[in-house]
Amino acid sequence: MLRKLVLWVLGYAWVALLVGLGGLGMAAYSSYSAGHGGGARAEGELSAASGEVTEGREVTVEHKRRRGGKTTSKYFELDLKPDGGGELLKLRVDHAIPQSKLEPTIGSRVTARYDADDHNTVYVLNAGGTELVAYADMQRILVAKAESNSQFFGSTGMLVFFALVALVGGGGLVLRRKMLSGSA
């Protein structure tokens, strides 16, 4: 009976192994991302659009976790009616950009450079010859976010935790295999 219980518990050792390795992988990725510009697109790879901003709003997105708790993220969204006609373009501006900079753009003509692959995130926004959002500012914001993630996942406590979880998971798989083969 005890053997069956131990085998059943060890049957889930792969979950611990995956969590540990996933955490270590996330630490490595966040460290890499922080050291390489925070995932900012090169300025030459950005899409461009000009037109009139018809509407703007602040958007709050809540992400609920499976076991309780939630995280929220905020950003500003500008509706851009392109000059050549066509579909309304929803541009996402990081919440770190002050709302007071964006409010005057509603009803006026702007030129935007944005990342179409990342929810139309704006990197450069010009209105009436004035640069409201600069590429360098967005790059600093993205690097700061990446460094924050890197500090969380790369902290000594988190690295030790993920390494121990991976070792427990790997050891559990080895022990289960030995028990099933009859040598333990």
pLDDT tens across 29-53, in order? Answer: 888 887 777 677 888 889 999 999 9
Domain boundaries, the chain: 2-36+152-181, 40-150
40-150: CATH topology is OB fold (Dihydrolipoamide Acetyltransferase, E2P) (2.40.50)
How far from the centroid of its chain's Cα atoms is residue 8's Cα?
36
pLDDT in 10s for each residue of the chain, 184 residues: 888 888 888 889 999 999 999 999 999 988 888 777 767 788 888 999 999 999 999 898 888 877 767 878 889 999 999 988 888 999 999 888 888 888 888 999 999 999 988 888 999 999 988 899 999 888 888 888 888 888 888 889 999 999 999 999 999 999 989 988 876 5
Q: What is the Cα–Cα distance from 37 to 160, expressed in whole angstroms? A: 27
Which pTM does this prediction carry?
A: 0.68
57: left (phi over 0), alpha (psi -120 to 50) or beta: beta
Helical ranges in 40-134 per DSSP H: 99-102
Residue appearing with tokens 């709050």: 60
